[in-house]
Structure 1
Amino acid sequence: MLLVSVLLLIGAIDWQQRRIPNLLLAVLLGIVVLHRNTMPGPTGIVLFSNVVFALVVTAPAYAKKILGAGDVKLMLVLSPVWPTVIFLQVFALGILSLVAVMLLQKIVTQASLVKKLTPSQSPPCGHSFDLRFSRGLPLGTAIALGALITQVLAVFG
């Protein structure tokens, strides 16, 4: 649960600032090391598969400046935590829930803007309903959401 708590903090910071502090990544790494010493985790080919998955997903997006270095480091730090299927589940659930949150934000933003405009007004020229992608994809937020959902499913599922 400590792992998910730190991930939620990372997710909140990533959502607001579009950066993941190295200090929190170091704390998370310490938790992962402790987790690995107390509970079995992926080894050998499974761990290698997780690292490859983390790099395949993040490296191209980092090269295109869609993700930041903190997102790459986060995925690598989390590689030894879960078996590959769970790692993929955390990632997929996180991305899906992030898209849902961002679409909800867009709907709320559009609705509140429409209420503020009178019939003779129009949105400012070039106004876009920013889904926050202009500052990069908050992968830390997605991973936090995916880890939380996975944890809830494990407890109540």
Structure 2
Amino acid sequence: MVDWCRYRTYAWVLAVKVSQKLEYACRAAVCLARHYDGATVVKLEDIAQQEDISASFLVQILNELKRSGLVESKRGKAGGYLLSKAPAKISVREVVQAAEPGLLATPDDSSGASGPAVTEMWQGLSKIVHERLGSITLESMASEAGEPMYFI
């Protein structure tokens, strides 16, 4: 059995095509983390403007994050969105799984002579990606992003 975890020590880069939806979901979640105080909602229009995302597309993404329990919404004139728990308790992996549920799934086709070895390789890689994304919190992403910028 190959120990795929040992490859973490190498500077391997896996080129993965990230969908625009996933990119926007991560940006919206980090934006909400930057504004998080446990009570204050952020208006859809403010998130859209700060992150340069179409409001109509953003509402669909936020609804998916809401369905997965990561985001809450408040209706009305003073309504908006906020994280359902502290940014330190939400990992990037949770956002990825909410926005693109099948993205982190590994193929399990062990057919053919090489199938088991290839399946093991994908499973090892998936484990590394799961662990890495699980170790990054929205709080750490928000601190890297800095304070919210307001333009007049």
TM-score (norm 1): 0.28
Query: Which has more strand, going by share of residues?
Result: 2
Query: Which has more helix, going by share of residues?
Result: 1
